[in-house]
Structures are given as C-alpha cells and as structure tokens.
C-alpha cells in the first residue's frame, strides 16, 4: 500500500513539472502526501494545503516542519484562494468525494494563473472489475449481479458516477487545454478477507457490511464464503493521471 501511495505521489508530482518558486495548491491534502513532497521540491515557493477536514489539516500541521506550507479549510468546489493566484493545482483521490466535479474543475481553472498546470490522480471506480466476474457465487450469482448493477449505476454516488472521459470533458469545458490522460488498468491482487472488510473511504461500508445491509446476515455470510473460497482476488482497479494547462 505504501509503495503504491509513493507511486501515486511521485507520478502526480512529476507530472506537475514544478519549478522553483512555484505557488502550489494541494486540494484535499488529507495528511499531506502531496503537500509534503511539493514543499520539499519548491523550498522557495509556497504550498497551500486545503481540505474540508480540520482534523486532517491539524494532523498535517503537527507532522510538518516545512516553513512554506499554509493551511486552509475549504472545499474543491469553492477554493479559498483569489483568482489567478497559483501556478500548480495538485490533487489525489479527492474528486471521487466531490459531488460537482465540473465546478471543481472550474475552480482549479479560476485560481490558476495563465500557464498554470493541473496534475491529478483519481481512481476510476466505475471500471473496477465486478466481483461477480471473478468469484463463483453459485445460485446467488444473479442476486450479486443485480446488486452490483444497482451499486455501480447509482448516479448519486460521487465515487462511481464518472469515468475518465467525464473528467476529460469537464476539464476541457472549464477552459483547460493540453488535457492529457494516462489511464492505467491497476491490476492487483487482494486477499479475500481484505476484500470483505476494508472500508474504502470514511463513512462507507465494508463489502461485507454492505451485503449484510442489502441481503441480510445469512445471505451475506454465504457470499463471503464464496469470496473466501475464491482465494486472493485478481482484479483491475483502474486509475487516471490527468494533466492540463491553463492557456
């Protein structure tokens, strides 16, 4: 997991082509994966760490000694920055939480100065390998497929209601040019127990808990047994690196 995070961080930072003195904003900084790396690379510049979570910002501040990091509570849809005030917008795994992603793209455009760059990473969860394709659920297969359809087609779920072409369209519509997409399949293997119990994001249910809620405890346990019998699950977890330029 840490190695994977390091790859995400290093790729987003490399794609941003940071230059000495750049003013950089990390939207949805969390505990500062990108902020800390950016602050090291532009010691003469400034890094604005923005998050909706005060707790995350406080944790970052406790752990960071960088003199060039500034902390702002704010959301991607209304950035607490004036127009044309930064050179680079970074973000990783944040748009998946944002209801109005087009508005976020417009905000990124607004705060960037001319020639400014955006470098983002987002998982494209709507293209994840469906479990029903890699696990034999026996007689329960149709029920699992129906549950998956309902889950993946929920247009109200910001984690699932978009793909890479939606993001490309939104960034172009916001005014960005040279919108480049590096789409990766993200093939990986996940242990059955982790698959069942991991909570993907704060406030979300684990797979097992989601099944319990939807199917009831007995059926959920049968489904879990099928997952365990399948052993480590091979799946694709597609990911997008997107870069763009404000003309």
Based on the shown chain and the rule CB under 6 A, indicate whether residue 102 belongs to the binding site for ligand SAM. Answer: no
CA distance linking residue 58 with residue 71, whole number of Å? 9
> Given the DSSP bridges, would you call strands 69-73 and 46-51 parallel, antiparallel or unpaired?
parallel
Based on the shown chain and the rule CB under 6 A, indicate whether residue 75 belongs to the binding site for ligand SAM. Answer: yes
CB neighbours of 143 closer than 8 A, spacing ≥ 6?
137, 215, 219
| Smaller CB separation from ligand SAM, 37 or 227 | 37
Which segments of the chain does DSSP mark as H helices, in order? 2-16, 33-41, 54-63, 101-111, 131-134, 141-152, 164-173, 192-197, 207-215, 217-230
| Smaller CB separation from ligand SAM, 2 or 139 | 2
Cα-based distances in Å from 182 to 2, 75, 128, 163, 192: 21, 25, 17, 13, 29
Based on the shown chain and the rule CB under 6 A, indicate whether residue 33 belongs to the binding site for ligand SAM. Answer: yes
| Smaller CB separation from ligand SAM, 10 or 136 | 10
CB of 220 to ligand SAM, least distance (A): 26
| Smaller CB separation from ligand SAM, 30 or 45 | 30
| Smaller CB separation from ligand SAM, 33 or 220 | 33
Based on the shown chain and the rule CB under 6 A, indicate whether residue 93 belongs to the binding site for ligand SAM. Answer: yes
Stretch that binds ligand SAM, among 17-25, 29-37, 125-133, 192-200 (CB under 6 A): 29-37
CA distance linking residue 223 with residue 88, whole number of Å? 46
CB of 239 to ligand SAM, least distance (A): 13
Residues at the interface with ligand SAM (CB under 6 A): 27-30, 33-34, 51-53, 56, 75-76, 92-94, 97-98
């Amino acid at each position: 997991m840490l190695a994977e995070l390091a790859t995400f961080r290093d790729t987003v930072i490399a794609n941003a082509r940071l230059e000495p003195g750049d003013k950089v904003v990390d939207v949805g900084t969390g505990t500062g994966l990108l902020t800390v790396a950016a602050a090291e690379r532009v010691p003469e510049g400034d890094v604005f760490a923005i998050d909706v979570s005060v707790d995350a910002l406080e944790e970052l501040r406790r752990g960071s000694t960088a003199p060039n990091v500034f902390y702002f509570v704010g959301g991607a849809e209304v950035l607490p920055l004036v127009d044309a005030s930064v050179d680079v917008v970074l973000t990783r795994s944040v748009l998946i939480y944002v209801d109005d992603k087009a508005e976020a793209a417009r905000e990124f455009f607004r705060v960037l100065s001319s020639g400014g760059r955006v470098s983002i990473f987002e998982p494209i969860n709507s293209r994840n390998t469906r479990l029903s394709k890699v696990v034999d659920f026996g007689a329960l297969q149709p029920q699992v497929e129906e549950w998956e359809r309902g889950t993946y087609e929920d247009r109200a779920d910001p984690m699932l209601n978009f793909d890479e072409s939606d993001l490309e369209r939104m960034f172009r519509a916001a005014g960005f040019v040279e919108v480049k997409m590096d789409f990766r399949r993200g093939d990986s293997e996940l242990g059955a127990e982790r698959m069942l119990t991991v909570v993907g994001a704060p406030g979300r249910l684990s797979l097992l808990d989601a099944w319990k809620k939807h199917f009831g405890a007995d059926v959920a346990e049968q489904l879990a047994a099928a997952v365990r019998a399948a052993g480590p699950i091979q799946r694709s977890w597609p990911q997008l690196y997107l870069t763009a330029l404000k003309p």
